[in-house]
Each structure stands twice: as structure tokens, then as C-alpha cells.
Structure 1
Amino acid sequence: MHLHVGCTLQFEAQDNTPVIFMLRPRSGSGQWIISEEYEIMPHVPVTEFTDRYGNLCQRLVAPAGPFSVRTAATVQTNDTIDVAHGAPFVPIEDLPDDVLHFLLPSRYCQSDQLGELAADITATVETPGYDQAEAIRRWINQNIRYEYGTSDASTSAIDTAAHRVGVCRDFTHLGMALCRSLNIPARMVVGYLHELKPMDLHAWFEAYIDGRWYTFDATQTEPKGNRVTVAYGRDAADVAFTTQFGPMLLNTMEVWVKAAEQ
């Protein structure tokens, strides 16, 4: 499917404020960028760099006063995501060097404290690997309540495991932390999902199994394609759409994902 995706962010800055945006998707696995737009008002100089995870980052200084960013892209996406029940676990000694750091605990994913829960969730899984990650995804979907306003920017996987409530970011952190506690590399993905309700920017995770990354979304009851990835990282600290270095208030945000004519 071809999707037209985008967002508009409207800010109010108290002073000239350095900002890093992470809003541009790039062509890669499961998606091809056909066209894109990037509008900034008022116009300011922008530079772009690629971070350690391959994400496209836009760097600028927002002037004092009203400031807005609008991004849009038409993207060819896959209608389905790959499912591989029985795909085997990759021994740590066989993992690629650039995958190893996705095994480690991180700010929001305290995998070193969740081993017992992960072992309980996957106790009946016969084949280590994909089926363990799927058991974790299913357990979160069935046992963690999705509810806005129940978490904030400091909520971690440990908090979500204890309180059993959160939003997509929290579901994702918990899924990654549980996978990592079983020595399955896991990374956070943020972007767009077609027919997400209510519409918003979305988060899910990928686990490295049998030599490749597989998608897992604990907010969904079944595998769902038509996703547009914007960024990858260890957790939310790496994939923030906006990182500001000064007082700047986000007044409104509009997000859209629509089927595009081919």
C-alpha cells in the first residue's frame, strides 16, 4: 500500500532554542520513500546528520515566538509483517557486533531486573527465539491495560510491569526489557501505523532472531503491516521526535496516515 503520512507540530519558544528533530523516514526494510515535504515557519537554517542508528536528524535554532514544523511523505509499505514461529535464538557469540548493544539494560529498559518475569512468561515455550518474543508480546497485550494519561516521560519498564497500565511507549519498553533479559536483542521503533486508533505517532519493538529483525507490537492483537518507520534506538531516549535545549512549549500536534492513490 502507498501511504501518505505526516505531522504538524506548533511550538512557542521563549527564547532562541536549539532543537534536534527526528521526523524524516528513510527508505529501508519494508518501506520506500516516494516523495516528501518538510516545511518550517518561520524559515531558519537547518542542517541534517545521521545518528549512530541510521536515523535522519534535523538540527536548527528555533527563534523566540511561534514556530511550526510540518512534515509529510508518500511511502510504499508492506501490507503484512513477517511472522516466523519456531525461528531460532541466535547465540550471543554469533551476534553481529552492531547488534550487541541492544542486549544491554538502558534508561527505560531495566532488563537486568526482569529476568524472573520473562522466565515465567516464556516457561512453556519449547523453542528459544521467535516464540519467546511472541509470548512476551502476547502477554503484554493481554495483561497490560492501554490507557492515556497513566504514564509520563519518566515511566520505565519496571514501572509498567508493576502498575500494569500504559501506552505504546510503555508496552514497547517492557517488551524490549523482557526480551533482553532472555538475551534476545531488542530495539525500539517509532513511526506511523495505518488505521491506528486514536491516530498518533506510534511505537513498537523489533527483536533480532535467526539472523534478522522481526516486528512485534504489543498494542495490537495480531500482526499488522502498513507501518512507516521514522527512527530506531535502544529506548525512548534515542528516538525522541523533538529534543529541545531550552524552554519551548508544544501547543498542538496533528498526525495523519492515509491511503494514497497509486
Structure 2
Amino acid sequence: MRLAIDVHLDYGFPEPADVLLQVEAAAMHDQRIEAEALVIHSDHPIRAIPGEDGIGQRCWARGEQRLVADYHATVAIERPAINLASLSATPVRDLPAETIRYLLPSRYIESDRFEHFVRRQFAGLSGGALALGLADWVRGAIEYSGVAGGGGSALTTFAERRGVCRDYAHLLVALARAAEIPARCVAVYAPGVDPPDFHAVAELWLGGAWHLVDATGMANCGNIARVAIGLDATEIAFMTIFGSAFLYRQTVSVRQLSDTKEQPEEIVR
């Protein structure tokens, strides 16, 4: 499976501001970067730094009056299909050290507030079967409204029962952590997302590995490309502005290539 990814960002700045971009697909064991180019139109130096847990890359830029960025990539997805229901959970005492932070509450994921709900609603389930039950519940309970939940937190989404992909991911991650399953938020590029945009899913630690789960049901986790991972949406945002800005234009296109020979015409090498 190969994806052609094209992103165009055009923002204006009333006052100079530092900008942290996170738009490049991550090179990982199950997704290979065949070609990519990030072009940032700026008079200031650009500095790249690693993403959370060393996954992906962030880029510091400087916005003065106007900041335009273009990203193009071809990514090969090499992710085998997994029967999630067959995977076992790891007792918390046996979890790898690097997964522990994804077991705890964070700013927008109040997992400790969902422990009673999870125990009551999903009694008798464990491991992958529990994870699928949590994802199915979120998909059925939340309405995709095109408008983010008022507070951006899992608790707000649970109360309002509406939101966008970020809210679905927050709630699923909160429920998984409440069920003692390490879970993190993941920014991805996914074909078929409507409207086309940056997309957010969850990733759960089961059977000794991380597994992608999209509670919105819009993305096939076998053909999406990770950009960044983190505790919640604050760590996976495609753009963090240390100041104020306004949007001129933003487009995200993710296209599945029909065969191994096809190349996107607009790729910049």
C-alpha cells in the first residue's frame, strides 16, 4: 500500500511568532518514506527536532507577516493485518517502562474519571476484545459533528456526545487507560477521511506491541501513515503557534496509489 501526501499551509501573523510544525510522515518499521520534501517559505532559519519518543520530526519556524509551508511525500505502508480480538493485555506491573506514561491521566484525557464506567459497562472483557468493545462504544455513542467538543477533553466529549476525530481519539484513549491498557494519541494521514484534513486516531498497547485504532471508523488502520504520537492532542498538533495567527489557506490531500509503479505527479524530490 502506497500513499501520496500533499499539504499546503498558508498563515498570516499580525506579530512575529515562533511556530512548531509537525507535518512530516514518520519513518517507522511499518511505514517507509519513499520520497518527501518539506519547503517552508521563510527568511529565518529552520530547525528540526525529534518528535515524542523519537517518533517523527518537528520543525521550528518563524512566522512574520506570512508563513507558507508545502509538504509532499510518497509513503509505503507495510503493516500486516492483526486480529485485535485475539491479543492479550499486559498486567500493569509487567509493562515496558516506555509505556507507563500512556497509562496515566493527562491534561485532556481524564482517564481516572472513567474507571467506574469501564468496569461497569465492559465487565467480563479483557485485552483486544475489550479494546474493540471500547472503540465500538465510542463510535456508536459520539456523533461526528464537524465541530470540536467545547472543552476538547475526553470528559467533555463524553458529556456532549459529539466531536471531531481528535475528540474520538481522546475518549477512546481515556477509556483504554481507565481499563489499564496503555494508549496514546496519534496524528496520521489517512485516505478517505471526510472532510480531507489532518486525522487523529488512538494507538493501544496489546500483545506486546502498539496497534492503531480509529474510533471514527473513517480510516482503515492498515493504510494510514503516522505523523506523531503523544499523550493527547497538545503533543500531536500539526502546528503550535507561540503567538497569534490567522488562516489564509490550508489543504491536505492523501491519495492511495493504484500500483507500485504509479508516482504522484506533484511530488517534489
Q: Shorter chain as normaliser: what TM range?
A: over 0.9
* Structure 2 match to 1:61: 62
Structure 2 distance, partners of 1:39, 1:189, is 23
- State which of 101, 126, 135 in structure 1 corresponds to 2:133: 135
* Structure 1 match to 2:18: 18
- Counterparts of residues 203-214 of structure 1 (less than 5 Å): 203-214=200-211
1:39 aligns with 2:36: no
Checking the alignment, whether the CA contact within 8 Å between 1:108 and 1:173 is kept in structure 2 is yes
Q: Aligned partner of 2:27: which letter?
A: S
Per the TM alignment, residue 37 of structure 1 is displaced from its structure 2 partner at its CA by 1.1
Q: Could you tell me which runs of 5 or more consecutive residues in structure 1 were left unpaired when the two chains were aligned.
A: none
**Residues 131 and 58 from structure 1, CA distance in 2 versus in 1: closer, same or farther, beyond 3 angstroms?**
same
Count of aligned pairs between the two proteins: 258
Per the TM alignment, residue 226 of structure 1 is displaced from its structure 2 partner at its CA by 1.1
- Counterparts of residues 210-229 of structure 1 (less than 5 Å): 210-220=207-217, 224-229=221-226
Cα deviations by residue, 1:57-87 (Å, 9 ceiling, x for unpaired): 1012122x22211111100014764223131
3-state SS in 2 of match to 1:23? coil
Per the TM alignment, residue 250 of structure 1 is displaced from its structure 2 partner at its CA by 2.3
Structure 2 distance, partners of 1:244, 1:233, is 18
* Structure 2 match to 1:245: 242
Checking the alignment, whether the CA contact within 8 Å between 2:191 and 2:219 is kept in structure 1 is no
Cα deviations by residue, 1:133-163 (Å, 9 ceiling, x for unpaired): 11000011111111112525x3210011111
1:177 aligns with 2:168: no
Q: Could you tell me which runs of 5 or more consecutive residues in structure 2 were left unpaired when the two chains were aligned.
A: 264-269
| Higher mean C-alpha displacement, 38-47 vs 194-203 | 38-47
- State which of 130, 135, 144 in structure 1 corresponds to 2:142: 144
Checking the alignment, whether the CA contact within 8 Å between 1:186 and 1:207 is kept in structure 2 is yes
1:199 aligns with 2:165: no
**Residues 195 and 221 from structure 1, CA distance in 2 versus in 1: closer, same or farther, beyond 3 angstroms?**
closer
3-state SS in 1 of match to 2:85? coil
Q: Aligned partner of 1:134: which letter?
A: L
- Counterparts of residues 95-174 of structure 1 (less than 5 Å): 95-125=95-125, 128-152=126-150, 154-174=151-171
Cα deviations by residue, 1:207-246 (Å, 9 ceiling, x for unpaired): 1011111111111178542101100001001111111111
Per the TM alignment, residue 120 of structure 1 is displaced from its structure 2 partner at its CA by 3.1
Checking the alignment, whether the CA contact within 8 Å between 2:52 and 2:228 is kept in structure 1 is no
Checking the alignment, whether the CA contact within 8 Å between 1:12 and 1:67 is kept in structure 2 is yes
Checking the alignment, whether the CA contact within 8 Å between 2:41 and 2:68 is kept in structure 1 is yes
Structure 1 distance, partners of 2:235, 2:219, is 27
Q: CA RMSD in A?
A: 1.7
